[in-house]
Amino acid sequence: MPNAAQMLREDHRRIQRMFKQFEKLQDSAAKKALVDAVTVELTVHSMLEEEIFYPAVRRNGLDADLMDEAAEEHHVADVIMDELAKMSSTNDAFGAKFTVLMENVVHHIGEEESEMLPKAERIGAALMSELGTKMAARRDELIESNGQRTSAGPAERRSPGARASGKKTDRSRTVARSRK
């Protein structure tokens, strides 16, 4: 069982591979299908970070500003993914909007891997292992309950204000949207 940091890095590699696939696609239907798949992957990844990883490492002294910035980067990705979900893949702005999402996510991955994950790993192997177990169970729960990688889409994610207050919103619509 990979520890939490390893799981997040594996997610990052999978998402980056999907980004490279998009750049090779010519067919608009194939692009839309890949964007939907990326949305599911990013949503699950963000849910695992926001529900399990970020709170745990924050409680163990990781830089609060770094955690807050990461949460805001998730919010920006959510907004872009929501807009993409409402767009036709034949829209002239579709590819450009997805490129902006890719650039933002690649930047976020870079910060997590160069700053956050190394700092989090210093908290200890035992905690990283425990978090990895919790994150794997949560991922399985999301897959089992919905037949895919997530229970909701970016529109139902927590807003920055809700993140700060700890309130969650309904995340029940993304899988249905990603199946369309």
Share of residues in the chain with pLDDT > 70 (%): 80
What average pLDDT does the segment 106-133 reach?
Answer: 95
Helix, coil or strand: residue 120: helix
- Sign of the Cα pseudo-torsion (178, 17, 80, 163, in order): positive
pLDDT in tens, 39-85: 989 999 999 999 999 999 999 988 889 989 999 999 999 999 999 99
pLDDT at 90: 94
Domain regions of the chain by residue span: 4-179
At position 8, the amino acid (one-letter code) is L
User: Is there a contact between 153 and 82 (Cβ–Cβ < 8 Å)?
Assistant: yes
**Token pair belonging to 123:** 């908290």
- Span 87-112, mean pLDDT? 96
H helix count then E strand count, the chain: 9, 0
Residue whose C-alpha is closest to residue 157's, from 58, 56, 76, 38 = 76
**Position 147 confidence tier, pLDDT thresholds 50, 70, 90:** low
- Region 88-112: what's the mean pLDDT? 96
Query: Using an 8 Å Cβ cutoff, are 4 and 131 in contact?
Result: yes
For the whole model, what pTM was predicted?
Answer: 0.81
